Structure 1
Amino acid sequence: MPTNSFDIRNFVPTIADGLQVDLPPMMPVRQGFPGEYVADIEAAVREQLARFSRLDLQGKQIAITAGSRGIKVMVEVLRAIVAELRTMGAEPFLVPAMGSHGSGTAPGQIAVLEKLGVTEAAIGAPVRSSMDVVELGTIENGTRVYCDKLAFQSDGIVVCNRIKAHTAFTGDYESGLVKMMVIGLGKHTGATALHQLGFDHFEHAIPAAGEVVLANAPILFGVGVVENAYGKMAAIEGIAPDRIMERERDLLVYSKAIMGRIQLDDIDVLIVDEIGKDVSGGGMDPNVTGRSALGLAIADTPSIQRIIVRDLTEATAGSSMGLGMADFTTKRCVEKINLAVTYTNALTALVLLPPKIPMICESDQAALAFALRTARIQHADGARIVRIKNTKDLEEIWVSEAYRTDLAGRDDMRVLEDAQPMRFDDAGNIF
């Protein structure tokens, strides 16, 4: 029986040549976001942990969680926590708290931390990694809740994590201490159990499972970190176990208020230079684009007609998670996709939209032609186009001339130079 092969790397739409459009000039703009930050991280950690100074930790083995996300200040925060625990007489150690990340193996999770700079030499405490877990109980629907065995058998667990909006679901508890207790410390077994429910159930399942952990695991206290739009630490708080649920909810509201975003309402075409797991867990943050992994609308985001993704980051190692939320991409981007890595991520998270591949174009110029022809606009040269590096670095962006009136008199967005024509190389890619 004959077989037909389809080489996606050599498949490129050829009709783009007939889609010549007049592109509007673009101007660089600097966005301003709330910039408060903690200058002395060590002093801030010392101040926050002072509220637990009455705890008897002499000779106690204390586990500290270390996650898999590249948080800029986390090495400094963990190092300061270790130092303070030692002054209290404790013997701290780190446990990877990252669910199934690192290929779901103990050595793999240590390797993830090493890439983030979280090592014994850098932090001042040993890293102990195991995938063994202890069952703590169940939530109402019968889903089992687990905890890392090494952490559970310690004399106390310090849960440390950044609190921020999640990329796949919304609720009172998204990325933060509660999710780290439930999925991070749950290791592969716990993460799989929760993910089987699907992200649409996380709004209720995460806090319910969090209560199970707080009731049955030796949680000593939490350390919640909030970053501003510039990647600096805006706040850090030491939180007693009985206040974690309350305080995380409040800190998430604060985090969302100061996060980076595109501060424009209506966008015809958004050009994203790169996506990747190192940018956002979802490749590109739906809290910026408004397009979630479940296809649901995200509040307080711009209305965007068409999204173009130009490329993958090098650090994403071929994972194209998030590409499915775009409308167009380039041949250059598709050639970098590692389907094995991408599909593994998708199947673990039980999401099917993020790994999909949108329409493939020969070049950036062709992608823009497709996007502008399919967007609901009368004249392409008056289109409202925004170009960003990625969904994390949003301080400097490019916007089309059509936004000039919108920007007049705004303190939070400043035009840096006069508008200039978009420039392409011989291959049709943006300079």
Structure 2
Amino acid sequence: MKCCKSQAAGAQAPGPTFSPTQAVGGAGVEGLELELWEVRQHLDTREIADVAGATRAALEGLATSHPWPRGGEVAITAGSRGIDRIVDVLRAAAEYARARGCRPFILGAMGSHGGSTAAGQMEVLRGYGITEESVGCPVRTCVESVEIGRTPEGLPVLCNRLAREADGVLLINRVKPHTILTGELGSGLMKMAAIGLGGPRGADTIHARGLPECIVPAARVLLERLPILGGIGIVENAADRVCVLEAVPPSAIEATDRRLLALARSILPSIPFDPIHVLVTRWMGKNLSGTGMDPNVIGMHRRLGGPPERRIDRIVALDLTPESHGNAIGVGMADVITMRLRNQIDWQATYANGLTSGFFAGIKLPVALPTDREAIATALKGFPPETVRLVIIRDTAHLERMLVSPALLEEARAHPRLSIAETPTPLRFGEAGELLSVP
């Protein structure tokens, strides 16, 4: 049963029936007559064209301390994030394992995602196109875990039962800056080991003690105790396409994570304006960032607190991606959302993610307004049209194109990485109040 049900009658809590113009006396409606300029950000978009071939070549060159177990089962990890052409990578890895005489299967390796259930995890994988038919081998999920050791500090290290029972484990993950980890390690192979293989209970244990402090010691225990065959680290370019793919032995996983993270940080796209009065994002979602909207883009203080690294006065999130399956973790970082987004929230999945990670602020509910038009109008309240610094983006993972208000035009012209459309476009809405001006 979803947590959004009413305790008294089991019905969903009613949304507001008023117009924001009634509530706040105009709410910036005059700002909706703005003309916008499309800005293109020129990013490094070099990519690997054949990721399946790159995967096979990387595995051929992998020197591993564990021989591939002929006749044995090999678990190949698949996480909860949307990774470019991940089906091609998984299928190639499974084919390679089979060519070595092994029996591969894809293992759903994630913490609290999918509502901390095996069925929910399978739904997440299917949402990324990961099925037995697409990858050519069985796909399995399991939320049972067993303790396989303890860190030097005494932290119990838990491992997915299917990974523990496998004869070999191949870690696969994208390496990128994390929404909590700000040091030399982010999302990557070490996190896949500690959190992905740890499952919901392992994630709970690590988050309760502190992710930054525990992820490396826990991952080291897993790398030592499990028959890890190696890891495939993936880096995506600014257009979210695979640009680096490396296979490394277990002994090199930690160092590779650090090196690839530095590379990923150097090509991370950003919004090249500061301050911003109103930021409108067409989409937020779990497949775009672990926190729905990437704090590395909108400001880490919205995730971790503390002094703002950048100023964005108000954030409007208009919709939740279908790939999120209702998990709206990070919605609390927005200031205004739409009823369309609110009505898609699966509170059970959202609470499971937020409470496990300790991101309580991310599961708070912002003010929800009936339409895109009313949400944007409300956020624009108090900002004169001639000076408002408005930016509209598709989402925090796709920043090559954006729409900006006239007040940002001179800054855009002076920026060496930006080009501007020759003519403006009006801020347009459909008959139902839906935003039509989307980059």
Shift of 1:281: 2.3
1:413 to 413, 418, 421: 418
- Residue of structure 2 equivalent to 1:29: 39
Distance 1:78 1:429, change over 3 A: closer
Q: Can you give the 5+ residue segments of structure 2 that lack an aligned partner in the other structure? A: 1-7
Aligned-residue identity in percent: 38
Deviation at 1:38, TM superposition (A): 0.8
* 1:190 match: secondary structure: helix
Match of 1:10 in 2: 16
Aligned match for 2:241, one of 232, 235, 249: 232
Q: Distance in 1 between matches of 2:423 and 2:356?
A: 47
Which residue of 2 is the match for residue 328 of structure 1? 336
Where do residues 185-200 of structure 1 align in structure 2 (5 Å cutoff)? 185-197=197-209
Q: Secondary structure at the match of 2:179?
A: coil
The aligned residue for residue 56 of structure 2 is 46
Per-residue deviation, residues 195-254 of structure 1 (Å, max 9, x unmatched): 222xxx212211111111122221111110111122211100111111111110110111
1: CA distance, partners of 2:287 / 2:360 = 20
Question: Greater CA deviation, 311-320 or 256-265?
Answer: 311-320
Corresponding residue for residue 105 of structure 1: 117
Residue 204 (structure 1) aligned to one of 175, 198, 213: 213
Q: Which of 156, 170, 193 does residue 158 from structure 1 map onto? A: 170
CA-based RMSD? 2.8
Cα distance in 1 for residues equivalent to 2:426 and 2:118: 52
Separation in 2, partners of 1:7, 1:73: 39
How many angstroms apart in 1 are the aligned matches of 2:17 and 2:305? 27
The 1:52/1:89 distance shift into structure 2, 3 A limit, reads farther
Work out which of the residue numbers 296, 300, 317 in structure 2 matches 1:287. 296
Corresponding position of 1:139: 151
- CA shift digits 1:344-381 (9 cap, x unpaired): 3322322211121223445444444443445xx6x432
Q: Which residue of 2 aligns with 1:380?
A: 385
Whether the 8 Å contact between 1:387 and 1:399 is mirrored in structure 2 is yes
Q: 1:27 to 1:196 in 2, by over 3 A?
A: same
Residue 348 of structure 2 corresponds to residue 371 of structure 1? no
Contact 2:413 2:420 survives alignment (8 Å): no
* Greater CA drift, 83-92 or 362-371: 362-371
Please tell me the residue identity of whatever aligns with 1:44. Answer: A
CA contact (8 A) 1:318 1:337 kept: yes
Match of 1:120 among 107, 128, 132: 132
Cα distance per residue 1:379-405 (max 9 Å; x no partner): 432221100122122222101112222
8 A contact 1:310–1:333 mirrored in 2: yes
Could you say what secondary structure the match of 2:426 adopts?
coil
Which residue of the other structure, out of 401, 406, 413, is the alignment partner of 1:401? 406
Contact (CA 8 Å) 2:111, 2:200: kept in 1 or not? yes
Q: Which residue of 2 aligns with 1:68?
A: 80
Q: Kindly indicate whether residue 287 of structure 2 is the aligned counterpart of residue 275 of structure 1.
A: no
Partner of 1:216 in structure 2?
225
Taking structure 1 as reference, are residues 214 and 297 closer, same or farther at Cα in structure 2, changes over 3 Å only? farther
CA contact (8 A) 1:147 1:217 kept: no
Residue aligned with 1:45, SS: helix
Distance in structure 1 (CA, Å) of the matches to 2:56 and 2:307: 41
Aligned residue for 1:175?
A: 187
1:259 to 241, 256, 268: 268
TM-score (norm 1): 0.88
Report how far residue 7 of structure 1 moved: 5.3
Work out whether 1:59 is the aligned partner of 2:71: yes
Q: In structure 1, what is the Cα distance between the partners aligned to 2:87 and 2:323?
A: 19
Is the contact between residue 53 and residue 88 of structure 1 (CA under 8 Å) also seen in structure 2?
Answer: no
Instruction: Give the Cα–Cα distance (whole angstroms) in 2 for the partners of residues 196 and 80 of structure 1.
Output: 36
Q: What is the distance in 1 between the residues matched to 2:123 and 2:370?
A: 37
SS at match of 1:161: strand
1:165 deviates by 1.7
Deviation for aligned residue 1:16? 2.8
Q: CA, structure 1 residues 297+228, in 2 after alignment: closer, same or farther (shift >3 Å)? A: farther
Q: May I ask how many residue pairs the two structures share in their alignment?
A: 421
Structure 1: gaps spanning 5 or more residues: none
Contact 1:16/1:366, CA 8 A, preserved across alignment: no
Q: What's the CA shift string for 1:2-54, capped at 9, x where partnerless? A: x9x99550354533334446434211112221111111212212221122368
> Map of 1:307-318 to 2, 5 A cutoff?
307-318=315-326
Q: Which moved more, 1:165-174 or 1:396-405?
A: 165-174
| Residues 22 and 381, structure 1, Cα contact 8 Å, conserved in 2 | no
Question: Match for 2:52: what amino acid?
Answer: E
Q: Is 1:388–1:398's contact at 8 Å kept on the other side of the alignment?
A: yes
